[in-house]
A and B are shown apart, each in its own frame.
Chain A
């Protein structure tokens, strides 16, 4: 799986949009971009994934650059409960090898 690079930590004010960047310059054509988050002492939670088009769901939006070498996860109105470690992972979807390899992620702290 392609390697990803994320900032170690970020801060965001409550109610503002949180924009979390991820670089994945070695991504392959059949690899998707996945985002998960882990709140302290809990299991990871799926947020969103995409291949090349921008995606939006009830939790977040995912913006993928045209060359697919980077992406941004957007939490439109961050709340204190969004404080967590956010992981950007690239991998092939489905098939016989769909395990997730976690990097260090970004610790997002939402401040009141």
Chain B
């Protein structure tokens, strides 16, 4: 099956610093990747849609200047949490859509293992 890898799997940082999380599709190309955030005992909330070679599309209420997304290649998208604060502590998860032949996407999205961010 398709594999999506996130790095780091967990990170602890001081308040005010920036943290970068990488999302890689290891065995397929992904023109579109999605970033989610999950707080304890809650469901996944979509933050933004990342498209290769173009600007990300952010969901309502998500600050684009705080959560910087870059999708520079068909296998890599990055999420940078800038000037992180304790309230940004969360489980960040990416997913990628596998591109089938002819540019179509297959039905399912594949998810990374998640990255747990703790801001002190």
Question: Interface majority SS on A: helix, strand, loop or mixed?
Answer: loop
Q: Give every chain B residue within 8 A of A34 (Cβ-Cβ).
A: 107-108
| Closest Cβ–Cβ distance, residue B1 to chain A (whole Å) | 8
Residue B44 is within 8 A (CB to CB) of chain A in the complex: yes
A42 B46 Cβ-Cβ under 8 A? no
Chain B 1-56 residues near chain A, CB threshold 8 A: 4, 6, 32, 34, 36, 43-46, 49
Q: Give every chain A residue within 8 A of B108 (Cβ-Cβ).
A: 34, 46, 49
Q: How far is the CA of A91 from the CA of B6 in the complex (A)?
A: 25
Q: Give every chain A residue within 8 A of B6 (Cβ-Cβ).
A: 43
Tally of A interface residues using CB under 8 Å: 23
Tally of B interface residues using CB under 8 Å: 26
Q: Give every chain B residue within 8 A of A41 (Cβ-Cβ).
A: 91, 114, 116
Knowing A41-B114, A49-B107, say if A102 contacts B43 (CB, 8 Å).
yes
Minimal Cβ-Cβ distance residue in B for A85 = B43
B107 A94 Cβ-Cβ under 8 A? yes
B34 A44 Cβ-Cβ under 8 A? no
Chain A 5-24 residues near chain B, CB threshold 8 A: none
Interface residues of B (CB under 8 A from A): 4, 6, 32, 34, 36, 43-46, 49, 91, 93, 95, 97, 104-114, 116
The 4 A-B pairs at the shortest CB distance, nearest first, are namely A43-B111, A46-B108, A102-B44, A93-B107
Interface residues of A (CB under 8 A from B): 32, 34, 36, 38, 41-46, 49, 87, 93-95, 98-105
